[in-house]
């Protein structure tokens, strides 16, 4: 183990001389966590997140940079995530190391005292809107949501161009979407649209009158458009569109004139995490230029200043991104409204 640790230290030191000062500092900072993790026998980071599959470019880049540590993703979200965390702490402590979820549940984990305060040096420039309560979690990226349509059934000229267009009677029975009645990514994203005055209760009532096909997961709403069950998908994550398009699906994306909607993806470390050094390494790395580029390759927008845009999205795209404070203060009321408006 000492030989391996020395090799790691030498590898980082050897590469530093060719790097700018800021990059040298970041490499040395990350190298410290890496060596501590290897010394402690930490060979993995267990991450609770909504979908591991969508983070493949991020995971591959991390494991290539730090080959002695593997990422193990466990797909959990919303009430299932919170119940799992509660049961683990009731049994003595967390089985996971990191939570990488959304403003709907990560703050709840933090509120229960189950996340440590950790803002790495690599995230010093992260805008404060993306910093959680007492540094318990940090937003590393954002989903990019818009509409898309089945090109076999809808022409580019006829496709809706705005949220107002989606209420046209011709789309009645032809829309798929994720349920607003449960805690969902769609509900969270549209919380920002409500906050910014893009939509209101009357718009949601009009949407309900369109009798949309409703599912509990965005992946199912996406599939409904891909297979022609529906013609229009509402608030489909861009990375889902890219994945389906690459497989030959007859679909095209439309970003509404009012702007796309977005949900931050955040990361925090469990209090009592068994792989604490590896967890800190992963979180610190997520805010480096290397990681932010991999995040863009995953179809998500990085949150660090200067983070690269996502290929295929319009230049200067406006994003209505929900922040955790707004969500914590107002989402309960929004959810009640959604449940009143939608029957399913």
Q: What is the pLDDT of residue 344?
A: 63
Residue spans per domain, the chain: 2-142+265-302, 145-262+316-341
Q: What is the pLDDT of residue 323?
A: 80
Q: What is the pLDDT of residue 127?
A: 92
Q: Are 195 and 322 in contact, with CB atoms under 8 Å apart?
A: yes
Q: What is the pLDDT of residue 184?
A: 76
Q: What is the pLDDT of residue 57?
A: 93
Q: What is the Cα–Cα distance from 306 to 114, expressed in whole angstroms?
A: 32
Condensed to tens digits (0 to 9), the pLDDT of residues 91-125 reads 999 999 999 998 878 989 999 999 999 999 999 99
- pTM to 2 decimals? 0.82
Q: What is the pLDDT of residue 9?
A: 41
145-262+316-341 — its CATH code?
3.40.190.10
Q: What is the pLDDT of residue 151?
A: 97
Low-confidence ranges of the chain (pLDDT < 70): 1-23, 344
Q: Can 2-142+265-302 and 145-262+316-341 be said to share one CATH topology?
A: yes
Q: What is the pLDDT of residue 13?
A: 41
Q: What is the Cα–Cα distance from 145 to 261, expressed in whole angstroms?
A: 5
Q: Which CATH number fits domain 2-142+265-302: 3.50.50.100, 3.40.50.2000, 3.40.50.1000, 3.40.190.10?
A: 3.40.190.10
211 three-class SS = coil
């Amino acid at each position: 183990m000492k030989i391996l640790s020395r090799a790691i230290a030498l590898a980082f030191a050897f590469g530093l001389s060719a790097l700018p000062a800021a990059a040298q500092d970041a490499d040395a900072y990350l190298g410290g966590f890496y060596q501590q993790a290897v010394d402690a026998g930490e060979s993995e980071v267990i991450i609770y997140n909504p979908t591991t599959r969508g983070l493949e470019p991020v995971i591959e880049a991390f494991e290539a940079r730090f080959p002695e540590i593997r990422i193990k993703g466990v797909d959990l979200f919303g009430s299932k995530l919170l119940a799992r965390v509660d049961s683990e702490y009731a049994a003595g402590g967390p089985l996971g190391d990191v939570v990488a979820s959304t403003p709907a549940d990560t703050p709840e984990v933090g509120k229960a005292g189950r996340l440590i305060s950790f803002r790495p040096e690599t995230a010093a420039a992260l805008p404060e809107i993306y910093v959680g309560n007492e540094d318990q979690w940090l937003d590393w990226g954002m989903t990019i949501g818009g509409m898309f349509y089945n090109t076999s059934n809808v022409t580019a000229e006829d496709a809706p161009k705005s949220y107002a267009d989606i209420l046209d009677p011709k789309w009645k029975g032809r829309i798929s979407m994720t349920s607003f009645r449960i805690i969902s990514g769609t509900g969270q994203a549209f919380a920002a649209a409500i906050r910014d005055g893009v939509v209101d209760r009357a718009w949601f009532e009009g949407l309900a009158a369109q009798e949309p096909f409703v599912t509990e997961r965005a992946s199912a709403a996406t599939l409904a458009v891909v297979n022609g069950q529906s013609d229009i998908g509402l608030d489909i994550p861009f990375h889902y569109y890219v994945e389906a398009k690459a497989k030959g699906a007859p679909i095209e994306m439309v970003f509404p004139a009012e702007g796309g909607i977005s949900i931050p993806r955040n990361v925090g470390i469990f209090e009592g995490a068994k792989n604490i050094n590896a967890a800190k390494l992963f979180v610190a790395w997520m805010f480096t230029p290397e990681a932010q580029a991999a995040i863009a390759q995953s179809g998500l927008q990085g949150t660090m200043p200067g983070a690269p845009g996502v290929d295929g999205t319009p230049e200067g795209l406006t994003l209505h991104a929900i922040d955790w404070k707004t969500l914590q203060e107002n989402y309960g009321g929004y959810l009640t409204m959604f449940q009143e408006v939608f029957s399913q």
